[in-house]
Structure 1
Amino acid sequence: MAKFDHDSVVPYKESGLTKKQQVAEMFNRIAFRYDFMNRFLSAGIDVGWRKKALKQLAEEKPKIILDVATGTGDIAIMAYELLKPDKITGIDISEKMLEIGKEKVLKLGLEQYIDLQSGDSEAINFPTGSFDAVTVAFGVRNFEHLEQGLEEIKRVLKPGGKLVILEFSKPKITGIAQLYNLYVGIVAPQMASIVSNNRKAYQYLNKSVQGFPEGKTFVEILNNVGFRNTSCKKLSLGICSIYCGVK
Protein backbone atom coordinates (compact mmCIF):
# COMPACT_ATOMS: atom_id res chain seq x y z
CA MET A 1 0.00 0.00 0.00
CA ALA A 2 1.25 3.48 -0.88
CA LYS A 3 1.86 6.03 1.88
CA PHE A 4 0.47 9.55 1.54
CA ASP A 5 1.30 12.76 3.41
CA HIS A 6 -2.20 13.00 4.84
CA ASP A 7 -1.86 9.55 6.45
CA SER A 8 0.48 11.04 9.05
CA VAL A 9 -1.50 14.24 9.76
CA VAL A 10 -2.94 13.84 13.27
CA PRO A 11 -5.09 16.01 15.57
CA TYR A 12 -2.72 15.84 18.56
CA LYS A 13 1.01 15.68 17.77
CA GLU A 14 1.95 15.13 21.40
CA SER A 15 -0.28 12.05 21.65
CA GLY A 16 1.15 8.55 21.50
CA LEU A 17 -2.07 7.19 19.97
CA THR A 18 -2.44 6.17 16.32
CA LYS A 19 -4.14 8.53 13.89
CA LYS A 20 -7.29 6.40 13.97
CA GLN A 21 -7.42 6.51 17.77
CA GLN A 22 -6.77 10.26 17.82
CA VAL A 23 -9.49 10.95 15.25
CA ALA A 24 -12.00 8.91 17.28
CA GLU A 25 -11.02 10.81 20.43
CA MET A 26 -11.26 14.17 18.63
CA PHE A 27 -14.75 13.50 17.29
CA ASN A 28 -15.88 12.21 20.67
CA ARG A 29 -14.80 15.56 22.13
CA ILE A 30 -16.56 17.76 19.55
CA ALA A 31 -19.63 15.56 18.90
CA PHE A 32 -21.95 17.75 20.97
CA ARG A 33 -21.19 20.76 18.74
CA TYR A 34 -20.42 18.98 15.45
CA ASP A 35 -23.68 19.59 13.57
CA PHE A 36 -23.87 23.20 14.72
CA MET A 37 -20.25 23.92 13.74
CA ASN A 38 -20.78 22.41 10.28
CA ARG A 39 -23.71 24.73 9.59
CA PHE A 40 -22.04 27.70 11.30
CA LEU A 41 -18.60 27.53 9.68
CA SER A 42 -19.94 26.77 6.19
CA ALA A 43 -22.91 29.18 6.44
CA GLY A 44 -25.13 26.20 5.62
CA ILE A 45 -23.48 25.51 2.25
CA ASP A 46 -22.50 22.00 3.40
CA VAL A 47 -26.14 20.88 3.17
CA GLY A 48 -26.19 21.67 -0.54
CA TRP A 49 -22.87 19.88 -1.04
CA ARG A 50 -24.31 16.72 0.49
CA LYS A 51 -27.41 16.87 -1.72
CA LYS A 52 -25.29 17.26 -4.86
CA ALA A 53 -23.16 14.29 -3.83
CA LEU A 54 -26.19 12.06 -3.29
CA LYS A 55 -27.67 13.10 -6.64
CA GLN A 56 -24.76 11.20 -8.20
CA LEU A 57 -26.65 8.05 -7.17
CA ALA A 58 -30.07 9.09 -8.54
CA GLU A 59 -29.80 7.05 -11.74
CA GLU A 60 -28.47 3.96 -9.97
CA LYS A 61 -31.37 3.85 -7.48
CA PRO A 62 -29.35 1.81 -4.93
CA LYS A 63 -31.37 -0.34 -2.56
CA ILE A 64 -28.64 -1.13 -0.01
CA ILE A 65 -26.25 1.72 0.93
CA LEU A 66 -23.24 1.92 3.23
CA ASP A 67 -22.27 5.33 4.63
CA VAL A 68 -18.65 5.25 5.82
CA ALA A 69 -17.57 7.75 8.51
CA THR A 70 -21.26 8.48 9.01
CA GLY A 71 -20.69 10.71 12.03
CA THR A 72 -24.05 11.99 13.27
CA GLY A 73 -25.83 10.41 10.32
CA ASP A 74 -26.47 13.48 8.14
CA ILE A 75 -25.73 11.72 4.84
CA ALA A 76 -27.54 8.55 5.88
CA ILE A 77 -30.70 10.51 6.74
CA MET A 78 -30.49 12.64 3.60
CA ALA A 79 -29.89 9.52 1.48
CA TYR A 80 -33.14 8.05 2.75
CA GLU A 81 -35.01 11.28 2.03
CA LEU A 82 -33.61 11.66 -1.50
CA LEU A 83 -33.09 8.07 -2.70
CA LYS A 84 -35.55 5.99 -0.64
CA PRO A 85 -33.35 2.87 -0.45
CA ASP A 86 -34.46 -0.24 1.42
CA LYS A 87 -31.61 -0.02 3.92
CA ILE A 88 -28.79 2.34 4.88
CA THR A 89 -26.01 1.27 7.22
CA GLY A 90 -23.74 3.93 8.66
CA ILE A 91 -20.41 3.11 10.32
CA ASP A 92 -18.09 5.32 12.36
CA ILE A 93 -15.26 4.98 14.89
CA SER A 94 -16.64 7.73 17.18
CA GLU A 95 -19.17 6.41 19.67
CA LYS A 96 -20.27 9.90 20.74
CA MET A 97 -21.03 10.90 17.16
CA LEU A 98 -23.00 7.69 16.69
CA GLU A 99 -25.01 8.35 19.85
CA ILE A 100 -26.16 11.70 18.46
CA GLY A 101 -26.87 10.14 15.06
CA LYS A 102 -28.97 7.37 16.59
CA GLU A 103 -31.02 9.96 18.50
CA LYS A 104 -31.70 11.81 15.23
CA VAL A 105 -32.74 8.59 13.47
CA LEU A 106 -35.12 7.65 16.31
CA LYS A 107 -36.61 11.14 16.41
CA LEU A 108 -37.38 10.89 12.68
CA GLY A 109 -38.80 7.37 13.04
CA LEU A 110 -36.31 5.96 10.52
CA GLU A 111 -34.78 3.19 12.65
CA GLN A 112 -36.17 0.45 10.38
CA TYR A 113 -34.35 1.99 7.40
CA ILE A 114 -31.16 3.41 8.95
CA ASP A 115 -28.78 1.44 11.15
CA LEU A 116 -25.82 3.32 12.64
CA GLN A 117 -23.09 1.18 14.18
CA SER A 118 -19.49 1.23 15.28
CA GLY A 119 -17.20 0.34 12.40
CA ASP A 120 -13.74 0.87 10.92
CA SER A 121 -13.39 1.97 7.31
CA GLU A 122 -10.20 -0.08 6.97
CA ALA A 123 -11.80 -3.31 8.23
CA ILE A 124 -15.47 -3.16 7.26
CA ASN A 125 -17.41 -5.90 9.03
CA PHE A 126 -19.57 -6.96 6.06
CA PRO A 127 -19.20 -9.68 3.44
CA THR A 128 -17.78 -8.96 0.00
CA GLY A 129 -20.35 -7.50 -2.39
CA SER A 130 -22.86 -6.43 0.27
CA PHE A 131 -23.78 -2.94 -0.98
CA ASP A 132 -25.16 -1.28 -4.11
CA ALA A 133 -23.49 2.02 -3.21
CA VAL A 134 -21.09 3.50 -0.66
CA THR A 135 -20.94 7.14 0.42
CA VAL A 136 -18.23 8.96 2.37
CA ALA A 137 -18.74 12.62 3.31
CA PHE A 138 -15.69 14.42 4.70
CA GLY A 139 -14.25 11.16 5.97
CA VAL A 140 -11.49 9.93 3.66
CA ARG A 141 -9.09 12.58 5.00
CA ASN A 142 -9.35 10.81 8.33
CA PHE A 143 -8.37 7.37 7.02
CA GLU A 144 -5.12 6.27 8.61
CA HIS A 145 -4.27 4.21 5.50
CA LEU A 146 -6.02 5.77 2.51
CA GLU A 147 -5.63 2.96 -0.02
CA GLN A 148 -6.55 0.30 2.54
CA GLY A 149 -9.81 2.12 3.29
CA LEU A 150 -10.60 2.46 -0.42
CA GLU A 151 -9.78 -1.22 -1.02
CA GLU A 152 -12.19 -2.21 1.76
CA ILE A 153 -14.92 -0.03 0.29
CA LYS A 154 -14.39 -1.64 -3.12
CA ARG A 155 -14.54 -5.08 -1.53
CA VAL A 156 -17.96 -4.57 0.08
CA LEU A 157 -19.44 -3.02 -3.07
CA LYS A 158 -21.32 -5.26 -5.48
CA PRO A 159 -19.88 -5.44 -9.03
CA GLY A 160 -21.20 -2.32 -10.75
CA GLY A 161 -21.73 -0.65 -7.37
CA LYS A 162 -20.87 3.03 -7.08
CA LEU A 163 -18.71 4.94 -4.62
CA VAL A 164 -19.43 8.65 -4.00
CA ILE A 165 -16.99 10.67 -1.92
CA LEU A 166 -17.51 14.25 -0.79
CA GLU A 167 -14.35 15.91 0.46
CA PHE A 168 -12.78 19.31 1.00
CA SER A 169 -10.31 20.50 -1.60
CA LYS A 170 -8.15 23.56 -2.14
CA PRO A 171 -9.40 26.31 -4.49
CA LYS A 172 -6.91 27.33 -7.15
CA ILE A 173 -8.40 30.68 -8.26
CA THR A 174 -6.16 33.60 -7.27
CA GLY A 175 -7.78 35.61 -4.51
CA ILE A 176 -10.25 32.86 -3.61
CA ALA A 177 -7.38 30.57 -2.60
CA GLN A 178 -5.87 33.22 -0.31
CA LEU A 179 -9.22 33.98 1.32
CA TYR A 180 -9.88 30.27 1.81
CA ASN A 181 -6.49 29.68 3.41
CA LEU A 182 -7.03 32.62 5.75
CA TYR A 183 -10.45 31.31 6.73
CA VAL A 184 -9.60 27.66 7.36
CA GLY A 185 -6.14 28.41 8.75
CA ILE A 186 -6.97 31.21 11.19
CA VAL A 187 -10.63 32.29 11.30
CA ALA A 188 -12.31 28.85 11.59
CA PRO A 189 -10.03 27.52 14.38
CA GLN A 190 -10.47 30.78 16.31
CA MET A 191 -14.26 30.63 15.97
CA ALA A 192 -14.21 26.94 16.92
CA SER A 193 -12.20 27.67 20.06
CA ILE A 194 -14.88 30.14 21.14
CA VAL A 195 -17.94 28.05 20.26
CA SER A 196 -16.75 24.48 20.93
CA ASN A 197 -13.61 25.03 23.04
CA ASN A 198 -11.62 22.77 20.71
CA ARG A 199 -9.30 24.79 18.53
CA LYS A 200 -7.04 21.81 17.74
CA ALA A 201 -9.84 19.92 16.02
CA TYR A 202 -10.25 22.68 13.46
CA GLN A 203 -6.52 23.21 13.10
CA TYR A 204 -6.41 19.51 12.23
CA LEU A 205 -9.18 20.11 9.67
CA ASN A 206 -6.98 22.64 7.89
CA LYS A 207 -3.84 20.50 8.03
CA SER A 208 -5.65 17.40 6.80
CA VAL A 209 -7.15 19.35 3.88
CA GLN A 210 -3.72 20.75 2.97
CA GLY A 211 -2.17 17.28 3.07
CA PHE A 212 -4.93 15.44 1.20
CA PRO A 213 -4.10 14.21 -2.35
CA GLU A 214 -7.02 15.95 -4.05
CA GLY A 215 -8.32 16.39 -7.58
CA LYS A 216 -6.62 14.46 -10.37
CA THR A 217 -4.23 12.87 -7.88
CA PHE A 218 -7.08 11.35 -5.88
CA VAL A 219 -8.83 10.19 -9.05
CA GLU A 220 -5.62 8.41 -10.01
CA ILE A 221 -5.56 6.74 -6.58
CA LEU A 222 -9.12 5.51 -7.17
CA ASN A 223 -7.99 4.14 -10.54
CA ASN A 224 -5.00 2.41 -8.97
CA VAL A 225 -7.22 0.77 -6.37
CA GLY A 226 -9.35 -0.61 -9.19
CA PHE A 227 -12.32 1.71 -9.55
CA ARG A 228 -13.54 2.57 -13.03
CA ASN A 229 -15.53 5.46 -14.57
CA THR A 230 -13.87 7.71 -12.02
CA SER A 231 -14.55 11.43 -11.93
CA CYS A 232 -14.03 14.62 -9.94
CA LYS A 233 -16.53 17.46 -9.81
CA LYS A 234 -15.54 20.66 -8.03
CA LEU A 235 -18.09 22.65 -6.01
CA SER A 236 -18.12 26.23 -4.70
CA LEU A 237 -15.07 27.43 -6.64
CA GLY A 238 -13.06 24.37 -5.61
CA ILE A 239 -13.64 24.43 -1.84
CA CYS A 240 -15.20 20.98 -2.05
CA SER A 241 -15.14 18.09 -4.55
CA ILE A 242 -17.30 15.10 -5.40
CA TYR A 243 -15.41 11.97 -6.46
CA CYS A 244 -17.13 8.98 -8.05
CA GLY A 245 -15.98 5.52 -9.02
CA VAL A 246 -17.56 2.20 -9.99
CA LYS A 247 -16.47 -1.32 -8.99
Structure 2
Amino acid sequence: MGLEYLKEEPMTTALQGRKKESWKIFDEIAGTYDLLNKLLSCGIDIYWRSKLLKNLPKRENMQALDLATGTADVPLVLVKSKNISKVTGIDLSKGMVEFGKKKVKKAGKENKIALHIGDGCNIPAADETMDVVTISFGIRNFPDPQKSLREIFRVLKPGGRVMIMEFGLPKNFLVRAVYMFYFRHLLPFVGNLLSKHKDAYTYLNETVEDFPYGESFTNWMKEAGFSNANFTELTFGISNLYIGDKK
Protein backbone atom coordinates (compact mmCIF):
# COMPACT_ATOMS: atom_id res chain seq x y z
CA MET A 1 0.00 0.00 0.00
CA GLY A 2 3.02 2.31 0.07
CA LEU A 3 2.37 5.56 1.94
CA GLU A 4 -1.28 4.77 2.53
CA TYR A 5 -0.51 3.02 5.81
CA LEU A 6 1.79 4.75 8.26
CA LYS A 7 1.13 2.70 11.41
CA GLU A 8 2.43 -0.72 12.32
CA GLU A 9 0.13 -3.67 12.89
CA PRO A 10 0.13 -3.45 16.75
CA MET A 11 -1.36 0.05 16.51
CA THR A 12 -3.98 -1.20 14.08
CA THR A 13 -4.96 -3.95 16.52
CA ALA A 14 -5.18 -1.52 19.44
CA LEU A 15 -7.29 0.90 17.44
CA GLN A 16 -9.59 -1.88 16.31
CA GLY A 17 -10.38 -2.63 19.93
CA ARG A 18 -11.23 1.00 20.69
CA LYS A 19 -13.39 1.40 17.59
CA LYS A 20 -15.91 -1.10 18.96
CA GLU A 21 -16.81 1.40 21.66
CA SER A 22 -15.78 4.65 19.99
CA TRP A 23 -19.30 6.00 20.52
CA LYS A 24 -18.40 6.40 24.20
CA ILE A 25 -15.68 8.87 23.26
CA PHE A 26 -18.18 10.91 21.26
CA ASP A 27 -20.59 10.89 24.20
CA GLU A 28 -17.84 12.42 26.31
CA ILE A 29 -16.90 15.17 23.83
CA ALA A 30 -20.38 15.93 22.47
CA GLY A 31 -20.61 19.27 24.28
CA THR A 32 -17.53 20.73 22.58
CA TYR A 33 -17.60 18.76 19.32
CA ASP A 34 -19.12 21.42 17.04
CA LEU A 35 -16.95 24.21 18.41
CA LEU A 36 -13.77 22.20 17.99
CA ASN A 37 -14.77 21.09 14.49
CA LYS A 38 -15.02 24.68 13.35
CA LEU A 39 -11.92 25.80 15.25
CA LEU A 40 -9.58 22.97 14.28
CA SER A 41 -10.65 22.90 10.63
CA CYS A 42 -10.72 26.71 10.35
CA GLY A 43 -14.29 26.31 9.10
CA ILE A 44 -13.28 24.43 5.96
CA ASP A 45 -15.47 21.48 7.00
CA ILE A 46 -18.47 23.60 5.93
CA TYR A 47 -17.06 23.85 2.41
CA TRP A 48 -16.38 20.12 2.32
CA ARG A 49 -19.95 19.21 3.24
CA SER A 50 -21.34 21.57 0.59
CA LYS A 51 -19.86 19.19 -2.01
CA LEU A 52 -22.49 16.62 -1.05
CA LEU A 53 -25.28 18.80 -2.45
CA LYS A 54 -23.50 19.15 -5.80
CA ASN A 55 -23.25 15.37 -6.23
CA LEU A 56 -26.77 14.22 -5.39
CA PRO A 57 -28.51 11.84 -7.83
CA LYS A 58 -30.87 13.45 -10.32
CA ARG A 59 -34.07 12.37 -8.61
CA GLU A 60 -37.04 13.96 -6.87
CA ASN A 61 -38.56 13.18 -3.46
CA MET A 62 -35.44 11.39 -2.32
CA GLN A 63 -35.08 9.52 0.96
CA ALA A 64 -31.62 10.04 2.45
CA LEU A 65 -29.82 8.22 5.24
CA ASP A 66 -26.84 9.72 7.07
CA LEU A 67 -24.68 7.31 9.07
CA ALA A 68 -22.53 8.42 12.02
CA THR A 69 -24.68 11.52 11.86
CA GLY A 70 -23.18 13.09 14.98
CA THR A 71 -24.74 16.49 15.67
CA ALA A 72 -26.67 16.49 12.37
CA ASP A 73 -24.40 18.71 10.30
CA VAL A 74 -24.90 16.59 7.16
CA PRO A 75 -28.70 16.25 7.42
CA LEU A 76 -28.96 20.02 7.82
CA VAL A 77 -26.98 20.41 4.59
CA LEU A 78 -28.92 17.76 2.66
CA VAL A 79 -32.34 19.29 3.37
CA LYS A 80 -31.24 22.41 1.53
CA SER A 81 -31.92 20.43 -1.65
CA LYS A 82 -35.50 20.66 -2.92
CA ASN A 83 -35.13 17.08 -4.14
CA ILE A 84 -34.62 15.67 -0.64
CA SER A 85 -37.92 14.97 1.09
CA LYS A 86 -36.61 13.24 4.22
CA VAL A 87 -33.28 12.64 5.94
CA THR A 88 -32.82 10.00 8.62
CA GLY A 89 -29.66 10.26 10.67
CA ILE A 90 -28.35 7.48 12.91
CA ASP A 91 -25.48 7.36 15.38
CA LEU A 92 -24.53 5.17 18.33
CA SER A 93 -23.65 8.20 20.47
CA LYS A 94 -26.71 9.37 22.39
CA GLY A 95 -24.89 12.53 23.43
CA MET A 96 -24.20 13.53 19.83
CA VAL A 97 -27.73 12.71 18.70
CA GLU A 98 -29.26 14.80 21.51
CA PHE A 99 -27.18 17.82 20.47
CA GLY A 100 -28.20 17.16 16.87
CA LYS A 101 -31.89 17.16 17.76
CA LYS A 102 -31.51 20.59 19.35
CA LYS A 103 -29.89 21.92 16.19
CA VAL A 104 -32.61 20.43 14.00
CA LYS A 105 -35.32 22.00 16.17
CA LYS A 106 -33.57 25.36 16.15
CA ALA A 107 -33.38 25.22 12.35
CA GLY A 108 -37.09 24.38 12.12
CA LYS A 109 -36.40 21.18 10.16
CA GLU A 110 -38.09 18.62 12.41
CA ASN A 111 -40.53 17.77 9.62
CA LYS A 112 -37.68 16.74 7.29
CA ILE A 113 -34.99 15.35 9.61
CA ALA A 114 -35.29 12.46 12.06
CA LEU A 115 -32.39 11.40 14.26
CA HIS A 116 -32.13 8.02 15.98
CA ILE A 117 -29.67 5.80 17.80
CA GLY A 118 -28.39 3.30 15.25
CA ASP A 119 -25.41 1.28 14.07
CA GLY A 120 -23.77 2.04 10.73
CA CYS A 121 -22.56 -1.56 10.48
CA ASN A 122 -26.04 -2.98 11.07
CA ILE A 123 -28.31 -0.44 9.41
CA PRO A 124 -31.89 -0.50 10.75
CA ALA A 125 -33.53 -0.05 7.34
CA ALA A 126 -35.20 -2.38 4.89
CA ASP A 127 -33.66 -3.41 1.58
CA GLU A 128 -33.73 -0.86 -1.26
CA THR A 129 -35.46 1.94 0.67
CA MET A 130 -32.95 4.78 0.34
CA ASP A 131 -31.99 6.99 -2.59
CA VAL A 132 -28.91 8.45 -0.92
CA VAL A 133 -26.64 7.30 1.90
CA THR A 134 -23.97 9.60 3.33
CA ILE A 135 -21.20 9.34 5.91
CA SER A 136 -19.08 12.32 6.89
CA PHE A 137 -15.83 11.57 8.70
CA GLY A 138 -17.29 8.55 10.46
CA ILE A 139 -16.62 5.33 8.60
CA ARG A 140 -13.01 5.16 9.79
CA ASN A 141 -14.38 4.75 13.33
CA PHE A 142 -16.54 1.76 12.41
CA PRO A 143 -15.22 -1.59 13.68
CA ASP A 144 -16.09 -3.18 10.31
CA PRO A 145 -16.24 -0.55 7.52
CA GLN A 146 -16.45 -3.17 4.78
CA LYS A 147 -19.58 -4.61 6.37
CA SER A 148 -20.98 -1.10 6.50
CA LEU A 149 -20.39 -0.69 2.77
CA ARG A 150 -22.28 -3.93 2.12
CA GLU A 151 -25.11 -2.72 4.34
CA ILE A 152 -25.24 0.59 2.48
CA PHE A 153 -25.46 -1.27 -0.82
CA ARG A 154 -28.32 -3.36 0.60
CA VAL A 155 -30.47 -0.40 1.69
CA LEU A 156 -29.93 1.67 -1.46
CA LYS A 157 -32.51 1.56 -4.22
CA PRO A 158 -31.30 0.73 -7.73
CA GLY A 159 -29.92 3.97 -9.10
CA GLY A 160 -29.12 5.15 -5.58
CA ARG A 161 -25.86 6.73 -4.52
CA VAL A 162 -23.46 6.60 -1.59
CA MET A 163 -21.32 9.61 -0.75
CA ILE A 164 -18.60 9.20 1.87
CA MET A 165 -16.39 12.01 3.06
CA GLU A 166 -13.28 10.95 4.94
CA PHE A 167 -9.85 12.28 5.78
CA GLY A 168 -6.80 11.38 3.73
CA LEU A 169 -3.17 12.46 3.68
CA PRO A 170 -1.78 15.09 1.27
CA LYS A 171 0.55 13.86 -1.47
CA ASN A 172 2.52 17.08 -1.89
CA PHE A 173 5.66 16.79 0.24
CA LEU A 174 5.60 20.33 1.63
CA VAL A 175 1.86 20.38 2.30
CA ARG A 176 2.11 16.93 3.86
CA ALA A 177 4.97 17.97 6.17
CA VAL A 178 3.15 21.05 7.46
CA TYR A 179 -0.14 19.22 7.77
CA MET A 180 1.33 16.24 9.63
CA PHE A 181 2.98 18.52 12.19
CA TYR A 182 -0.34 20.24 12.80
CA PHE A 183 -2.25 16.97 12.70
CA ARG A 184 -0.01 14.98 15.03
CA HIS A 185 0.93 17.67 17.53
CA LEU A 186 -1.07 20.91 17.57
CA LEU A 187 -4.52 19.54 16.79
CA PRO A 188 -4.49 16.75 19.42
CA PHE A 189 -3.11 19.13 22.06
CA VAL A 190 -5.78 21.78 21.48
CA GLY A 191 -8.56 19.23 20.97
CA ASN A 192 -7.82 17.27 24.12
CA LEU A 193 -7.35 20.47 26.14
CA LEU A 194 -10.59 22.17 25.11
CA SER A 195 -12.69 18.99 25.14
CA LYS A 196 -11.25 18.13 28.58
CA HIS A 197 -10.74 14.58 27.39
CA LYS A 198 -7.40 12.88 28.00
CA ASP A 199 -6.92 11.45 24.50
CA ALA A 200 -10.05 11.75 22.31
CA TYR A 201 -8.34 13.81 19.62
CA THR A 202 -5.18 11.74 19.79
CA TYR A 203 -7.26 8.63 19.14
CA LEU A 204 -9.32 10.23 16.36
CA ASN A 205 -6.17 11.36 14.57
CA GLU A 206 -4.61 7.91 14.82
CA THR A 207 -7.69 6.46 13.11
CA VAL A 208 -7.01 8.71 10.10
CA GLU A 209 -3.46 7.47 9.62
CA ASP A 210 -4.54 3.88 10.10
CA PHE A 211 -7.39 3.97 7.57
CA PRO A 212 -7.07 3.19 3.83
CA TYR A 213 -7.76 6.09 1.50
CA GLY A 214 -7.81 6.91 -2.19
CA GLU A 215 -7.88 3.92 -4.52
CA SER A 216 -7.58 1.48 -1.61
CA PHE A 217 -10.93 2.67 -0.28
CA THR A 218 -12.60 2.77 -3.70
CA ASN A 219 -11.55 -0.87 -4.11
CA TRP A 220 -13.52 -1.67 -0.95
CA MET A 221 -16.52 0.09 -2.50
CA LYS A 222 -16.21 -1.95 -5.68
CA GLU A 223 -15.98 -5.17 -3.66
CA ALA A 224 -19.25 -4.19 -1.93
CA GLY A 225 -20.93 -3.94 -5.35
CA PHE A 226 -20.79 -0.24 -6.17
CA SER A 227 -20.40 0.92 -9.76
CA ASN A 228 -18.50 4.02 -10.88
CA ALA A 229 -16.66 4.12 -7.55
CA ASN A 230 -14.39 7.16 -7.57
CA PHE A 231 -13.01 9.86 -5.32
CA THR A 232 -12.23 13.55 -5.47
CA GLU A 233 -9.46 15.10 -3.40
CA LEU A 234 -10.46 18.17 -1.41
CA THR A 235 -8.01 20.76 -0.07
CA PHE A 236 -4.77 19.08 -1.26
CA GLY A 237 -6.07 15.64 -0.29
CA ILE A 238 -6.68 16.43 3.39
CA SER A 239 -10.20 15.16 2.74
CA ASN A 240 -11.63 12.89 0.04
CA LEU A 241 -15.16 12.58 -1.27
CA TYR A 242 -15.95 9.03 -2.37
CA ILE A 243 -18.96 8.36 -4.60
CA GLY A 244 -20.45 5.08 -5.75
CA ASP A 245 -23.69 4.07 -7.45
CA LYS A 246 -25.94 1.04 -7.23
CA LYS A 247 -27.09 -0.08 -10.66
TM-score by length of 2: 0.91
Q: Residue 136 of structure 2 aligns to which amino acid in structure 1?
A: A
Preserved contact between residue 8 and residue 19 of structure 1 (Cα < 8 Å): no
Q: 1:38 to 1:189 in 2, by over 3 A?
A: same
Which residue does 2:42 correspond to in 1?
A: 43
Residues 7 and 66 (structure 1), Cα distance of their counterparts in 2 relative to 1, 3 Å cut: farther
For 1:182 and 1:60, locate their aligned partners in 2 and report how far apart those are by CA, in whole Å. 43
SS state at 1:127 partner: coil
- My pick for the range that moved more, 93-102 or 203-212, is 203-212
Over 3 Å counting, the alpha-carbon distance change for 1:226 and 1:30 in structure 2 is: same
The equivalent of 2:179 in structure 1 is 180
Partner AA of 2:58 in structure 1: E
Structure 2 counterpart of 1:90? 89
In 2: Cα distance, 1:92 partner to 1:205 partner? 16
Q: 1:215 deviation in Å?
A: 0.1
Aligned to 1:241, the other structure's residue is in SS state strand
Give distance in 2, aligned partners of 1:204 and 1:41. 15
The Cα shift of 1:84 comes to 4.6
Number of aligned residue pairs? 238
Q: CA separation in 1, counterparts of 2:231 and 2:182?
A: 24
Partner of 1:123: 122
Amino acid at match of 1:20: K
TM-score normalised per structure 1 = 0.91
1:10 and 2:52 equivalent?
A: no
Q: Per-residue CA shift, 1:81-101, capped at 9, x if unaligned? A: 135511100000000000000
Q: Deviations over 1:60-119 (max 9, x none)?
A: 456100001100000001100135511100000000000000011111121111000000
Distance 1:63 1:7 in 2: 38
Correspondence 1:206-225 to 2 at 5 A: 206-225=205-224
**Residues 192 and 200 in structure 2, CA contact (< 8 A), matched pair in contact too:** no
Partner of 2:101: 102
Deviation at 1:20, TM superposition (A): 2.4
2:209 partner SS: helix
Matched-pair identity in %: 39
- 1:149 matches 2:148: yes
CA contact (8 A) 1:58 1:83 kept: no
Q: Deviations over 1:2-28 (max 9, x none)?
A: xx97974539xxxxx76222x110000
The alpha-carbon distance between structure 1 residues 160 and 9, as it changes in their structure 2 partners (threshold 3 A), is farther
Three-state SS of the structure 2 residue aligned to 1:132 is: strand
1:54 Cα shift? 2.8
Could you say what the CA RMSD is over the residues aligned between the two structures, in angstroms? Answer: 1.8
CA distance in 2, matches of 1:122, 1:205: 19
Q: Distance in 1 between matches of 2:48 and 2:57?
A: 15
Determine if contact 1:7/1:143 at 8 Å carries over to the other structure.
no
Any unmatched runs of 5+ in structure 1?
12-16
- The corresponding residue for 2:197 is 198
- Residue 33 of structure 1 contacts residue 196 of structure 1 at CA under 8 Å; is this kept in 2? yes
CA shift in 2, pair 1:76/1:7, >3 Å: farther
Tell me the CA shift for residue 199 of structure 1: 4.5
Aligned partners of 2:12, 2:179: CA distance in 1, in Å? 23
1:111 equivalent in structure 2 = 110
Greater mean deviation of Cα atoms: 56-65 or 159-168: 56-65
* Runs of 5+ consecutive residues of structure 2 not aligned to the other structure: none
SS at match of 1:81: coil
